[in-house]
Amino acid sequence: MSALAGIWYDGRGSRRVPARVSLPQAGVLRVEPNHGDPFEVDIASVSISPRLGTTPRVLDLGSAGQVECADGPEFDAWFPRQGRIQVAADWLERRKSTVLGAALATIVIVVLFFEFGLPWIAGRIAERIPPVAERAIGAQTMALLDRTALKPSGLPGERQKALQARFRALVAGLPDVEDMRLEMRDAPGIGPNAFALPGGEIVMTDQLVAMAGSDDELMAVLAHEAGHHVHRHALRMAIENGGVAAMAGFLFGDVSGTGTLAVSIPVLLLNNGYSRTHEREADQFAIDLLRKRGLSPRLLANMLRRLVKIHGENNASMSYLSTHPPTEERIEAAERAAAAK
């Protein structure tokens, strides 16, 4: 009968008592303290700590205290069910190739999550944001932009009304069209730009109106921004950049997190730009909408060329002049669509 030397703690104090532990018969664990009477416990009631390198194993004896022993092969024989799992784990932990493989797998999983998982989650959450919460985010965002970056439009009232009428005709029949509205603002610090806010507001700057060669070209840009609204790209982008907690609050009826997103959305729109997927979705939406309205997708390509000429390819302050994907690639896609009538 094999036995292991260990230290017994009776569970009533901190006194260490040297002891021997053995298995005199199946199902019975015997503990023989150097000072005190030996006792036996049902081995089925004993739990053993996991194997971890060369650290001692701890046998929890319940009301009889616990015994701490150096690790040994006896434990695998005495506790076969736990032993198989622990032996396998110990075998894996001791092999560098396994550790490196696990580290590589972790990196791959993390990358895949941020590349595919997080955008998918953000899209599902954005679809479930209550309209009242989305409008609240948009209103707070607009108020913040009006205080910090935008001024009232300098365009004549009749000119603004004409552009708004063209915009309403452009988006007629689209999903959530009742929420879409065009706002004009003077933005000398931003320049030619347009962006869609949560809740349906689409802002177009006086500088963009002045830059365009025609109102049809302006409609191409607004069709692109309508695509961002329909696909809820601003909300999805904010969620992907750290607004998950706030969005979870909306799902449970707490709209107190709207302020956080209202602050983050202008920064993301004007500094970071949309993702590759978002830009392509909005471009395709604009191409399809322009065709339905009897307008050429080449109008979008023309506006992108004008924007590149003014701002340069790497200017990140343009919500739709993004380097992801490169503007030239987007121009070519619009030209191909125009040629495929």
CA distances from 251 to 236, 248, 256 (A): 14, 5, 12
Element (H, E) at 286: helix 276-292
For residue 235 the two structure tokens come to 């909300």
List alpha helices for 113-252, DSSP H: 118-127, 131-148, 157-171, 206-211, 215-230, 233-238, 244-251
Strand pairing of 151-152 and 181-186?
antiparallel
Other C-beta atoms lying within 10 Å of the C-beta of residue 283: 25
Position 195: which residue type?
Answer: F
Q: Are 209 and 223 in contact (CB under 8 A)?
A: no
Q: Is 225 a catalytic residue?
A: yes
- Give the span between the Cα atoms of 243 and 261, in whole angstroms: 7
Handedness of CA 131, 133, 136, 140 (dihedral sign): negative
Give the residue carrying structure tokens 């019975």: 28
Residues near 256 by beta carbon (within 8 Å), at least 6 away in sequence:
249
Closest CA to 6 of 60, 53, 44: 60
From 134, 201, 225, 240, active-site residue: 225
**Which residues are part of the catalytic machinery?**
225
